[in-house]
Amino acid sequence: MKTKSNTMKKIISLILIAISGLTACNTMKQNQSSEKLTGDWELNYITGVRIAFNGLYRDAKPSLNFKAPFKEVSGNTSCNGFSTKLEITGNKMTVSQPGAMTMRHCEGEGEQRFMDMLKKVTAYSVEGNTLTLLQDDIAVMRFTKK
């Protein structure tokens, strides 16, 4: 009887160790993934715009800045600076409405297009020096690390 009981205890212990190991690995992967976001990123592609990219952003390109613990993102719309709340879980990302934003008058529709698209982001991926913001599975913006 003791042999069966001891064997069962060992099996249960091994299962619990395996589960906790997998959970720790998953958490580390999520942290490593979001750590790649750290730094300044400059926009080089935005979808859904009928105006040429360089015409939309003649003087300056929009940018984003991410810092741990990744609860907020700041940046520039090409005209105004902003800061807003950010939620990241794994590769999922939600950007809130701008919390704080400067109020310069901006020519053209570049700023509005950028902010509208940023609100639609649901996920991200980082490969090398490229940050891709996605709406579901579709790339809606791409940035290059500065």
Question: Tens of pLDDT along the chain (146 residues)?
Answer: 556 666 766 666 656 565 544 444 443 344 446 789 999 999 999 998 778 888 899 889 999 999 999 999 999 999 999 999 999 999 999 998 767 889 999 888 999 999 999 999 999 999 999 999 999 999 999 999 99
CA distance 96 to 101: 13
99 — phi, psi (to 5°)?
A: -80, -60
Distance (Å, whole) CA 104 – CA 17: 56
Question: Which residues lie below 8 Å from residue 30, measured CB to CB, with a gap of 6+?
Answer: 89, 90
What does R_g of the chain's alpha carbons equal in angstroms? 21
Is residue 125 within 8 A of residue 34, CB to CB? The reply is no
Confirm or reject CATH 2.40.128.270 for domain 36-145, answering yes or no: yes
Residue 50's pLDDT is 77
Q: What is the pTM of this model?
A: 0.76
- In the prediction, which pLDDT does 27 show? 37
